Chain A
Amino acid sequence: MKRRETMRGEPFLILLVEDNLDHTELIVRSFQGYRVANRINHVTDGEAALDYLFRRGAYEDPGLSPRPHVILLDLRLPKVDGLEVLRQIKETKTLKRIPVVILTTSNAESDVARAYDYHANSYVVKPLDFANFVRLMDDLGFYWLGWNRNPWT
């Protein structure tokens, strides 16, 4: 296990948009392994994701919907599709700066292409192999929480 310190000294907030509960568990467990302080907020469908980000509906209270430092977004989502969520994020001035990492089972080229068309910051495919899965999560953490710079704060 690697220890890292945040550059900024405050916990990272990750918004995980994932409908599969098992997958959520897997991801959460991984991130829990990090010593870097981080919090994961989780929504299970696209509509909830947008409500959260735009602070409306159930998430009107900003206290309930702090801005995340990075968004992990699955493509297959109920209610509102992942790509649609991505598009809206990247077309909104106040949200477009948040890096969005597509984390999905699909490795279809068309999905990849379209994701980048909508200005996804990264596209990662969930591995079927546990070892790789762990490593990916580690690297994700390293990169986005460690190396990557954010434009605010």
Chain B
Amino acid sequence: MVESEISNFILTRENELNNLDVVSGISLLDQTDQHALLSTLMLRERDYQEIALVDSRGHEQIRISLTSVILAKDLKIRNEKDGVLLPLRSGQTYFSPVRFDPTIREPLITIAVPLTNRRSGQVAYLLIADLRVKRTWDLLGTLNQPDAGEVYVVDQEGRVIAHANPAVVLSNQIVPIPPSGSRATGLSGSEVLSVTRGLRLGDQELTIIVEQPVAVALELATSTLWTSLLIGAAAIAISVLLVILAIRQIVKPVEDLAVYARSIMNGQLSQQIPVTRRDEIGDLENAFNLMAEQLSRIIQSLELRVAERSFELEQTGRKIEALLAELEEKNEELEQFIITVSHDLKSPLVTISGFLGYLRQEALNENNSRMLEDIARISAAAEKMHLMLEELLDLSRIGRKTTPPQELPFEELAQEAAKMVSGRLHERGVEVEIAPGLPVVRGDLPRLREALENLLDNAVKYMGDQPLPLIRIGVREQGDEPVFIVQDNGMGIEAAYHDRIFDLFEQLDPAAEGSGMGLAIARRIIEMHGGRLWVESPGAGKGSTFCFTLPRQEEIETKGDHERRAISHSVGRG
């Protein structure tokens, strides 16, 4: 840059001078016009100190100076030994070395521009101008580096010909021309980094040297380095930050999802992740939410099923409990039953063995008086046992051997029953009245008839000393079901025994015939049909009324339950 400024300056002058002839035709003008032309040029730019027009022999035709007046007598013959006159022969512009003119106290450079005759091609004249290169000084001044660097120009010999500080030029300092870009000792003596640029002006080889103290240069480099490092670091920091942000953008939601997944594992399915993004993370969140929902639904339905099963199990458990309790109860009843039965069967055995003993004695003693009596007792006891066992069997059979339910008017049933016990009725002279308009009954007819027979039998047995024994069979409306009655005018039963008479083997009159099971059996049969059998009696000597119900729409229950229930009712005590 510096060198182009300088060379521009000089070459512009060269051109300028050349144009004096080419454009203005100075060599053909008369003296007055030549004078005017040159003066104008000099005054305009003030770059020229002196311009002289010289012919081919070296004779000055005209010479103008910036600082002095040149008369005709001052014109001289130019015969410098330096190359000023060279162009006369070479046709090339000659540039002289920079010299310091003591008179004007300025550096000058002389350039000689040949003017060529167009016709002959010969150099006819020379324009020799002394250029004031002070301008370059100023140029260098403007280029002065603020941080103590130096820019200057040296000629071929290393003489400083231009420097911002004229003192340096005036000192005629000669410096070695360093190779460009090297460390050298600068003008000021300190270590510098110098960069050089060559400048050719004709034969002259000028060198522009730019110096920078090493420290400064380095400083610049260092600061540049630091700056780059800082920028680099900043860039890295920023990119790291960005990466972190980016990662967090991804990581945080993923972490949230992980937390969410964990909470799902722990069973909390009700939470939902808020889906805020549409990207893959968002998809993931959506997927999670869906999954949680599905899981929740599955678990709910499973829980429901578990609850149902638990409920079923509970119910079954309770049923089992109930059945077990019933079973226990029945076992107890059975035990009681067996005790009672075995007990009651023992009695006839005692009688039999006892009287057999006496019989033996009587046989040995040949005492006949009681023999027949004793034999009779034994017989009776055996018979009693037989009867007991038969009826027991019968009792147990009730409910097991069932006849399919049939219908029959109660009237008919009663008549049949009466016929079965007619013998005893006749014996005691009992009359039987059957009321008319009795309803139809439905059930196991043979058994129902048996029950009725037992009731009749019982009535006959307990007629006592009733002179006109009468049994009335009828029905009375009581509530929403008919109550059948078997009424007698016999001995009656005291209130205290109204329940006990239905017990197994219970006999109010021990002398009476039978096993004492008739009423128990009758009750069982009625109960099997879903009805109830009870007795009403105002008291001793006032007759009794046996009542029972037969529900209209009944089925014959399964034996098991009812049998034992009846037994438990019958077995009143041990």
A residues with CB within 8 A of B:
19-23, 25-26, 29, 44-45, 76, 78-79, 81, 105-106, 108, 110-111, 126-131, 133-134
B residues with CB within 8 A of A:
339, 343-344, 346-351, 353-358, 360, 377, 380-381, 496-497, 506-511, 573-574
5 additional A-B pairs beyond A23-B350, A111-B574, beta carbons within 8 Å, are A45-B510, A106-B343, A108-B343, A128-B346, A130-B353
Closest Cβ of chain A: how far from B447's Cβ, in Å?
A: 28
CB of A78 within 8 A of CB of B574, answer: no
Q: How far is the CA of A45 from the CA of B351 in the complex (A)?
A: 18
CB of A130 within 8 A of CB of B347, answer: no
Q: How far is the CA of A110 from the CA of B339 in the complex (A)?
A: 11
CB of B346 within 8 A of CB of A105, answer: yes
CB of A44 within 8 A of CB of B510, answer: yes
Complex contacts, B354 vs chain A, CB 8 Å: 22-23, 26, 130, 133
Q: How far is the CA of A76 from the CA of B347 in the complex (A)?
A: 11
Closest Cβ of chain B: how far from A33's Cβ, in Å?
A: 10
Closest Cβ of chain A: how far from B503's Cβ, in Å?
A: 10
CB of A128 within 8 A of CB of B508, answer: no
The 5 A-B residue pairs with the shortest CB-CB distance in the complex, in nearest-first order: A130-B357, A22-B351, A19-B510, A26-B354, A105-B346
Q: How far is the CA of A108 from the CA of B342 in the complex (A)?
A: 11
**Cross-chain contact of B351 among A23, A29, A81, A110 (Cβ < 8 A):** A23
CB of A130 within 8 A of CB of B356, answer: yes
**Cross-chain contact of B357 among A78, A108, A134 (Cβ < 8 A):** A134
Complex contacts, B360 vs chain A, CB 8 Å: 130
Closest Cβ of chain A: how far from B243's Cβ, in Å?
A: 95
Complex contacts, B351 vs chain A, CB 8 Å: 20, 22-23, 26
Complex contacts, B508 vs chain A, CB 8 Å: 78-79
Closest Cβ of chain A: how far from B559's Cβ, in Å?
A: 28
Name the residue in B346, B380, B510, B573 with the highest tally of chain A Cβ atoms < 10 Å from its Cβ. Answer: B510
Q: How far is the CA of A81 from the CA of B380 in the complex (A)?
A: 25
A-B contact count (CB 8 A): 75
Given contacts A21-B510, A29-B358, A131-B357, contact A76 B343 (CB under 8 A): yes
CB of B353 within 8 A of CB of A79, answer: no
CB of A128 within 8 A of CB of B510, answer: no
Q: How far is the CA of A105 from the CA of B344 in the complex (A)?
A: 8
Complex contacts, A26 vs chain B, CB 8 Å: 350-351, 354-355, 358
**Cross-chain contact of B509 among A78, A108, A128, A130 (Cβ < 8 A):** A78
Closest A residue to B349 by beta carbon equals: A128
Complex contacts, A127 vs chain B, CB 8 Å: 350
Closest B residue to A45 by beta carbon equals: B510
Q: How far is the CA of A25 from the CA of B380 in the complex (A)?
A: 14
Q: How far is the CA of A76 from the CA of B339 in the complex (A)?
A: 13
Closest Cβ of chain A: how far from B502's Cβ, in Å?
A: 14
- Can you list 30 A-B contacts with CB-CB less than 8 angstroms, sorted by A residue number? A19-B510, A20-B351, A21-B511, A22-B348, A22-B355, A22-B377, A22-B381, A23-B354, A25-B377, A26-B350, A26-B354, A26-B355, A44-B511, A76-B344, A78-B508, A78-B510, A79-B496, A79-B497, A81-B573, A105-B347, A105-B350, A106-B339, A106-B574, A128-B350, A129-B353, A130-B353, A130-B354, A130-B357, A133-B357, A134-B357
